Amino acid sequence: MRIALLYPPPWKVAGPDEARHTKDGPPEGYREGDLDADFYQTPYGLFALGAQAIRAGHQVKVLNLSSYPWSKVEEIVQKLDADVWGMSCWTANRRGVRLVSECIKRHHPNAHVVVGGPHATPLGPELLGHYPHVDTVCLGESDITFLELVSRLSKGLDTKAIAGTVYRDDGRVVTAPERKNVSDLDALASPQEYFDTHIMMTSRGCPWACTFCGAETSWGRGFRANSIDYVLSAMEKVTSRLPVRMIQIKDDTFTTNKKRVLEMCRKMRERNLGFFWSCDTRVDLLSDELLREMRLAGCQRLSLGVESGSQEILDKIDKKITPQEIIESTELAKKYGIKVRYYMMLGNRGETKESFAETLRFLERAKPHEYVFSCLSIYPGTRDFYDAEKAGWLNRSIYFERDFQEYKTPFDASEDTMRVLNEWFFSNHGLQIGYRDTTADYECIAERLGDYHAAHMDLGAAYYHEGKLDLAERHVRKALELGYPCPGLALNHLACIAKARGDIEAMMDLFMKAAKTDPQHWVLIQNVNAARAWFKKNGPAQHLPLELVVRHDFQLLERTMQPTLPGPLPEDYAEWRPALAPAPLEAAEEFVKTPDLEGSKKGLDERKRLPVV
């Protein structure tokens, strides 16, 4: 079967020279930046389904159309003749799913349109009721469900009553029996076998049940994980092809099984895989031993779901952590040089001006390296969603009848509290910098970790910023000798050290060496381009300033390349060929850096703007 897996745009996006679509366009008041930068990443589930289908012998294309102008979307759908069209449906792109399904049926009336994802799962019957051009909804974990659906279609069999689906039967919307989740995740095809994505999942599910989170609806209750050998094999395969040796592990709670992660980290070191990574987890699932092993295995950043600094709010959202636990885990991670990022929230149940002020005071005490706030969004399938329905102020029909991006609203805050929250948020949205490690901190970290390349790199960078160039060079070169996974960034530092000494020839030699050995880091590209422009203007003779960026933090440089991001499609995108493993990546002219300003700019809306039940 020919299968097209699409990540659609959120609505009808206007092209550069096109007028805004008055119908089916962005919601009223939409501003650039209201959609989080992460929105444009292809959901991991599409890669998982694509890998399963390729292994089963089907022809598969994964297309990210998340920022494409609607005219281009229409053109692509018309030209691409697929038997099965699958889409990942999130709250933010639910309208795009409807529009694309209509477009598919207009051009390919006999094709089968199937939708899944975290928005479709809790609203499966409603979605089929409102989206007449969608044939099937796959609920929850869809690896096996989707394969069974495709298998039946390939044999010309009826697709009704497949476990784990919602379908139509003589005009009626019917929910089939539930399908059990996959018990052995190693039995599934690895997305890293076929797709070059820096995002990776090593487990599914979370044993906790925070009120704002829909993980249980998507994955079921509990926690399941791939074996360590399965994970390491996938890491090895994909890092050999990625332009930058960095991976984001996006498990809901990576360190749920601390013993598993400890063993995984030790085996990563034994295999000398040589890449940097980040992960997300909870503060109560960390220990001194675990964090040390994570750091030595390449962990550069730890993102923690903190949400609030008020114990009262933490209790109301069923977080089951304390502010003191957050501080203790933060200090442990800092001890080994892991950068700590907090995910914070505004508008959770019980939020008041006083609880928010308490949160801000807490951040001053906890001193994370970074923190980013998001406004509460009521996602279908969460406890917030069901409790709001019971309380009578939310009707699920609004997700189909209204054009808002996401339903961002305080759960029960007063208008006065919401005004204070929004005023603060509009001035402080995006990634905020908190604690900055000192040279003394890095000296202690290097002493604790011994001859670990990244500790030497951190220390060398600290000495550079203090103007201690000889010490800086010594530690950066030591990092390279020890096998620093991103030599381009280390060579960039050495080039900047040479420039600070006035040795322009050595600077350019080091830039050129970096560009040949490890070229695709955004810092390096920016500096090389700046130096070239400087020379073109005869900068040395004219005594013109040359500003260089000196950074090596965990920043991913992703090429604007399909299918991970909505880059340009090849000219032959509509042609079908047998599925093959991906070829090694080649140089690309277009790049997009993971932005420093992360998170949505969209604030909280008043509930009264939406219909009250």
Give the tens place of pLDDT for each residue, 482-495.
999 999 999 999 99
| pTM of the shown model | 0.93
Phi, psi of 246, rounded to the nearest 5 degrees:
-140, 140
Predicted confidence at residue 588, as pLDDT, reads 40
577 is a domain residue = no
* Residue range 234-255, pLDDT digits in tens: 999 999 998 889 999 999 999 9
Share of the chain above pLDDT 70, in %: 95
Predicted local distance difference test score (pLDDT) of residue 609: 43
In a domain, 257, yes or no: yes
Nearest CA-CA partner of 462 in 543, 550, 581: 550
Angle between helices 353-366 and 415-428 (to 10 degrees): 30
Question: What residue has token string 């929850």?
Answer: 140
Could you report the per-residue pLDDT of 449-465, keeping only the tens digit for each?
999 999 999 999 999 99
Together in a domain, 140 and 219: no
304 with 362, same domain? Answer: yes
d(CA 82, CA 280): 37
Residue 597 confidence class, pLDDT cut points 50, 70, 90: low
- Report the pLDDT averaged over residues 76-101: 98
Residues 9 and 116 in one domain: yes
Distance between CA 441 and CA 334 in Å, rounded? 9
My answer on whether 331 and 384 are in the same domain is: yes
Domain assignment of residue 582, yes or no = no
Q: How far is CA 130 from CA 40, 119, 215, 375, in A?
A: 25, 14, 24, 28
Residue 243's pLDDT is 87
Query: What value does the mean pLDDT take over residues 432-443?
Result: 97
Contact 286, 237 (CB under 8 A): no
With a cut of 60, say whether residue 596 has pLDDT above it. no
Q: Are 190 and 234 in contact (CB under 8 A)?
A: yes
Q: How many domains is the chain partitioned into structurally? A: 3
Closest CA to 594 of 547, 566, 556: 556
Q: Which residue has the tokens 């000494």?
A: 501
Asked if residue 443 and residue 350 are part of one domain, the reply reads: no
Asked if residue 563 belongs to a domain, the reply is no
For the stretch 537-549, pLDDT in tens is: 999 999 999 999 9
Quick check: is 189 in a domain? no
- Confidence at residue 37, expressed as pLDDT on a 0 to 100 scale: 83
Distances (CA, A) of 290 to 172, 246, 286, 330, 574: 53, 20, 6, 13, 48
Whether the pLDDT of residue 477 is over 80: the answer is: yes
Q: How far apart are the C-alpha atoms of 403 and 137, rounded to whole Å? A: 21
Task: Judge contact between 103 and 77, C-beta under 8 A.
Answer: yes
Report the alpha-carbon distance of residue 408 to residue 426 in Å, rounded.
Answer: 14
Which pLDDT does position 538 carry in this prediction?
A: 94
- The pLDDT value recorded for residue 281 is 97
Q: Evaluate whether residue 408 is within a structural domain.
A: yes
Determine the Cα–Cα distance for residues 534 and 544; give it in Å rounded to an integer.
8
Here the CATH number for the domain that contains residue 303 is 3.20.20.70
Confidence at residue 606, expressed as pLDDT on a 0 to 100 scale: 73
pLDDT band at 555; cut points 50, 70, 90: confident
Tokens of 130: 């409102």
- Mean confidence (pLDDT) of the chain: 93
Task: Report pLDDT for 583.
Answer: 39
Q: Which two tokens stand for residue 10?
A: 């959120």
Confidence of residue 595 (pLDDT cuts 50, 70, 90): very low
Residue 470 maps to which CATH number? 1.25.40.10
Quick one: pLDDT band at residue 612, thresholds 50, 70, 90? very low
At which of 556, 581, 600 does a domain end?
A: 556
**By C-alpha distance, which of 194, 252, 279 is closest to 564?**
194
My answer on whether 444 and 427 are in the same domain is no
The predicted-structure confidence for 371-387, as pLDDT tens digits, reads as follows 999 999 999 999 999 99
* Among candidate residues 381, 398, 431, the one where a domain is terminated: 431
Structural Rg of the chain based on CA atoms: 25
Compute the average pLDDT of residues 268-291: 97
Which residues, other chains included, contact 97 with Cβ-Cβ below 8 Å and sequence gap of 6+? Answer: 8, 87, 89, 115, 120, 131, 134
The structure tokens 């599910």 sit at 205
Strand bridging mode 136-138 / 165-169:
antiparallel
Residue 48 has pLDDT above 80, yes or no: yes
Task: Report if residue 573 sits inside a domain.
Answer: no
pLDDT digit string, tens, across residues 362-418: 999 999 999 999 999 999 999 999 999 999 999 999 999 999 999 999 999 999 999
Please tell me the chain's helix, strand, coil percentages from 3-state DSSP, rounded to the nearest 5.
40, 15, 45
Looking at residue 16, its pLDDT comes to 87
Length of the chain: 613
For residue range 313-350, list pLDDT tens digits in order: 999 999 999 999 999 999 999 999 999 999 999 999 99
Confirm if 593 and 555 have CB atoms less than 8 A apart: yes
Residue 195 confidence class, pLDDT cut points 50, 70, 90: very high
Same domain for 463 and 352? no
Round to whole Å and give the CA distance between 311 and 322. Answer: 6
Same domain for 402 and 528, yes or no, is no
- Range list of H helices, 466-572: 469-481, 487-500, 504-517, 522-536, 539-542
Residue 73 sits in the same domain as residue 91? yes
Which domain covers residue 504, as residue numbers?
439-556
Asked whether residue 279 is domain-assigned, the answer is yes
pLDDT tens, residue by residue, 24-40: 999 988 988 889 888 99
Same domain, 399 and 539: no
β partners of residue 168: 173
- The pLDDT, as a whole number, for residue 554 is 87
Query: Is 401 found in the same domain as 550?
Result: no
Distance separating alpha carbons of residues 344 and 434, to the nearest angstrom: 13
Which DSSP symbol is given to 252? T
Q: What is the CATH number of the domain that holds 119?
A: 3.40.50.2300
- Residues 6+ positions from 217 with CB-CB distance below 8 Å: 118, 121, 122, 140, 381, 382
Q: Could you count the other beta carbons within 10 Å of the beta carbon of residue 72?
A: 16
Q: 392 and 465, same structural domain?
A: no
Residue 607 has what pLDDT?
64
Task: Name every residue whose Cβ is closer than 8 Å to that of residue 278 and which is 6 or more positions away in sequence.
Answer: 246, 247, 248, 249, 299, 300, 301, 302, 303, 554
